[in-house]
Amino acid sequence: MVSTRSASAAAMTPGRDRASAKSSSSSSVSPPPTTPSPSQSQSQTTAVAAKTARRSTAAAAATAAVSAPGWSHIPPASTLFWMAVSLPLVAWDTGYVLLRPASMPGGSLHWPLWTPYALYGEVDHMYGFKQWNAGNGFTAAQGILNLIETLMYLAYLGLWYFTARPGPTTAKGRRVLTGRPGALAVLLGFSAAVMTVSKTALYWLNEYYSGFDNIGHNNLTDLVLLWIIPNGAWLVFPTLMIYYMGSEIVSGLTKASATGPTRGAKYE
């Protein structure tokens, strides 16, 4: 009996081993990767397409807002060039005028920043000791207006730099101002340019009606090179700004008047 059970158990052992090996091999094989169902793939594709469409719509709207017919302002290259040149010079000139006599020859602040004014004070006595000793305050009063004018130009540049956006292809890569920031920038630029021309013209007229008391001693060459050309630039470029920005203001008001009364307008 014992030998019979042992034989039968031995006969059953290979079968068990084969079943155990089969089960272990089947458990060690990783399941095949699952592929997304057609509905999942379609939903993912739809989400990507919707996101792309939203971006395209926003970009198209921004481009249309700039390129659509209407009012906009693109600073001319001549305006940006003039401000880049004139604003540092005006700040330099205003500093000399308002810091006199320390900024004049012999003063503690004269060298090295205002050394060229030793010559210019001899060309134009409004900047020299003649009018300073006479107590003439015209140049200092003009210097205060220079400060206000410069702040207005800086506000114009700030609005353009911080609020303008890339323009259409017709803008040749320049940034465009639209809406209220654009209107405010043009108003500031136009007003500052009018101040510049008026102030410079007043300076010239003051010399004329004073019998050229401060510049009449110069010979023609010095007068042209050291007084007329440098001061004339403050008449030419701001006049161009007045023409350009004034035309934009008129154009914008004309278009606005065609759409009816503006909000907040009062009529008697």
CB burial string 40-59: b at 16+ within 10 A, e below: eeeeeeeeeeeeeeeeeeee
**Cis preceding linkage at 238, omega within 30:** no
Model pLDDT, residue 36 = 54
pLDDT exceeds 80 at position 188: yes
Sequence-distant (≥ 6) Cβ neighbours of residue 246 within 8 angstroms: 190
Average pLDDT, the chain: 81
Share of the chain above pLDDT 90, in %: 61
**Distance between alpha carbon 258 and the CA centroid of its chain, in Å?**
30
Which range has the worst mean pLDDT, 5-14, 158-167, 172-181, 227-236? 5-14
Provide the total of helices (H) and of strands (E) in the chain, helices listed first: 9, 2
Q: Which candidate, 106, 86, 88, 109, places its Cα nearest to that of 98?
A: 109
CA distances from 193 to 190, 196, 198, 236, 237 (A): 5, 5, 8, 10, 9
pLDDT of residue 265: 54
Between 234 and 63, name the one with better pLDDT: 234
- Look at the block and give the residue holding tokens 């007329």: 228
d(C-alpha 132, C-alpha 5), whole Å: 134
**pTM listed for this prediction:** 0.70
Assess contact for 218 and 227: CB atoms under 8 A: yes
- pLDDT, position 55: 57
Over its C-alpha atoms, the chain yields an Rg (Å, rounded) of 40
Residue 85's nearest CA partner among 191, 238, 202 is 238
